[in-house]
Structures are given as C-alpha cells and as structure tokens.
Amino acid sequence: MSEERSIRVRRAKVDKRANFTTDIQPMAFEPAFNYFMSAKIGEGIRLRTKQDYSNTWRYFTDWIKEENLGVKYVHEITTEICRNYIHYLTVEAPRFKGHRFIQNDQGVGLSAATINMRIRSLKVAFNFWYKESFVRMNPMDNIKCQKVDEDKIESFSDEQVEALLGACDQRTYVGFRDYVFQWLLLDSAMRINEALSIRPEDIDMKTRTIALDARFNKNRRARIIPLTTHTIKLLTELIDENKVHFPQASKVFLSCYGAEVTDTQMNKRLKYYGDITGVGKEIRSTAHTWRHTAARNYILNGGDPYTLMRLLGHSSIHMTRRYVQMTEDDVRIKHEEFSPVKKFRTKLR
C-alpha cells in the first residue's frame, strides 16, 4: 500500500479586523485633542469648523466625566460609550444648556441636525487618531447620522418685504444702512457674512457687479454677483456717506461708530424690524430668510435654476432646490399661466 501523500490546505478566509497587536501611544484627552486641532488648523480649516470641533469635544468629555466612566485616554473610548452618548443627546440632554441668554427649561433632546454635527465631528477626530496610532480602532465607524426630516423653508411674502423695508428710518444713518442691506440681500441672495465682508473696491460700478473673495465664501470659491442699477445707486450713496463720517473705514456696512458690523449684530437689527412690523410673529426675520426670499422670487420672475445655483454659490442643484420653496398660491398662479391644456382649449372649441 502506497504512502498517503500530503496536500496543502488553503487557509480559511477571515474578516479584516483591527490590528490589536500593534502598539499604540496612549494619549490623554487634552493632549490628543490639541494634537488633532493643531493638524486641522494646519490643513486650513475655517474658524467656524474649529469652534464646532472644540465645542463637540468639550461636550463629549464633560459627559464622560459626569457619568464617572473612569476613561482618561482616547483609546479607552469604546463604541458602546459613543452610542450611549448619542442616546443621551437624543432623549436626555437639556436644550440650550449653558446658553447665556436662554433659560434651561426648554425641554430635553437635541435636534437631529445638532446631533449629526457632533457625530461628524467625533468621526473626524477618531479617524485622525486611528491613523496616528492613538487608538486601535475608530469607535465611531459603525455609528450613522440620524435621519432628518426636510423642513419647509419659508420666505417673505411681497407684503412682508414691503413692510420690513418701509420700517427703516432712512433719515438716520443706521436706518438707511439697514435699508440698503436688506435691499442688497433681496437683489443678490448673498449670505450675511458675504454681504458684511464687502469693501468699496469689491464693487465694480461699470459692470454693476460685486467680486466676492473666496475666503469669505462658505465653499471657498470666489464668485461674481451681478446687481441692478438701483442697488448700485444705493451702495454708492452709502459709501459716500461712510467717507464723510468714517474716512478710515474699510467695509461698506458699518456701525454708527464706524466699526465693522458682525453677523450677530445685523441679525438683531433684522429681528428688530420683524418685531416692530409684526412680521416676526409669522416668520423669522433673518438674513437667511431674505436669501430664501430672493431665490424664490428669482424663479417666479422667470429665472432658471442653474443660474440661480451660481448666484447662491451652491455646488449642486439639489441644495438650490431646497431654497426654492413655492407656496400654494405660487403653484396655482403658475399653473393658470402655463397649464398644457391652454393651447388645446381653443382648438377643440
């Protein structure tokens, strides 16, 4: 009887798993986060993104301390801990906790949009630490963002626009400035920080355009904003008045003392006009509502969505579609004007 020959046995396939044998560098919360932020600042993140990362990490680590989890190093944070934190944000976290101007009796459970922002921030941080060998695996890998209902974003009616513009006392510097600002938002559909960043040299009076610097735009892309003749006339009048009272100022929109106006200050002014006109009881009186109003009216007046996408500074038509929320009256009027049956009605008669 011949000897049994040996054969080579194929190794069983195993799922890819985290490398638990590789040594990691233990990093406490604070130095790990400082290292992460140093790297992200080096990548050129915006100030708003930096603040979001900082706030998210502070909220997360404060919760860990409150729960007495005994976790001190980032590699000790598990998926279970992260899931418990998301659950806490969803059903237990007090709304507006620690806010300077809002009382803490606003209920519990944060919005899905807020929770998703924190999930994304934690994913970025842990992914960075995983690549830097501070953690053996990313505990946020299998945690998904929450589903968000697509809210209807309202815009001002024609009557509300007239009321808000009419409420500005143009006999005063601040009143005239606010009038020009609201008119500019309606004509250009710019974001509030874009409008407040405008300098006199950014405005081309001959071509009636504003050159927006990429560093002030949300998507870091420079773009040209066309304006109507009347808007250019209003801006020119405001700039001339600034030269008389504040010759050293570099921006177009200034406070009554010649200082640059922040987005918070200007939104407070817009809210003021909403309050005194009663418009604020029906809809939020903010710069963002003016932006949506400009987008809606642009389409209603015959503009096409792709040109509007360029004006708004969007990278996709999907986002532009969210800005154009038509009312039932808008749909009814347009249907009456463009219904396909109109061209057949006469022929059939």
Share of the chain above pLDDT 90, in %: 54
Contact assessment for residue 125 and residue 64, using Cβ atoms and an 8 Å cutoff = no
Same-domain check for residues 91 and 43? yes
- Indicate the residue among 90, 115, 131 that finishes a domain: 131
**Is 138 within the bounds of a domain?**
no
Q: Report residues of the chain scoring pLDDT below 70.
A: 1-23, 96-106, 149-153, 214-221, 319-331, 333-335, 337-349
Residue 318 belongs to domain with CATH number:
1.10.443.10
- Indicate the residue among 131, 150, 179 that finishes a domain: 131
Same-domain check for residues 165 and 298? yes
Q: With both helix axes pointing from N to C terminus, report the angle between 47-66 and 29-42 in degrees, rounded to the nearest 10.
A: 170
Same-domain check for residues 108 and 215? no
Res 333: pLDDT? 67
**Is 52 within the bounds of a domain?**
yes
Closest listed residue to residue 82, CA positions, set 173, 145, 155: 145
- Domain span holding position 109: 29-131
C-alpha to C-alpha distances, 40 to 20, 37, 140, 166, 221, nearest whole angstrom: 27, 5, 19, 46, 20
Same-domain check for residues 208 and 76? no
Same-domain check for residues 330 and 189? yes
**Is 118 within the bounds of a domain?**
yes
**Is 75 within the bounds of a domain?**
yes
Number of domains forming the structure of the chain = 2
Same-domain check for residues 194 and 236? yes
**Is 17 within the bounds of a domain?**
no
Same-domain check for residues 213 and 78? no
Distance CA 320, CA 327 (A): 16
Task: Please name the residues in contact with 249: beta carbons below 8 A apart, sequence gap of 6 or more.
Answer: 242, 258, 260
Res 19: pLDDT? 40
**Is 235 within the bounds of a domain?**
yes
**Is 37 within the bounds of a domain?**
yes
Same-domain check for residues 166 and 260? yes
Res 150: pLDDT? 58
Tokens 């941080």 found at: 125
Res 89: pLDDT? 94
Contact assessment for residue 186 and residue 293, using Cβ atoms and an 8 Å cutoff = yes
**Is 289 within the bounds of a domain?**
yes
Same-domain check for residues 205 and 242? yes
Res 214: pLDDT? 63
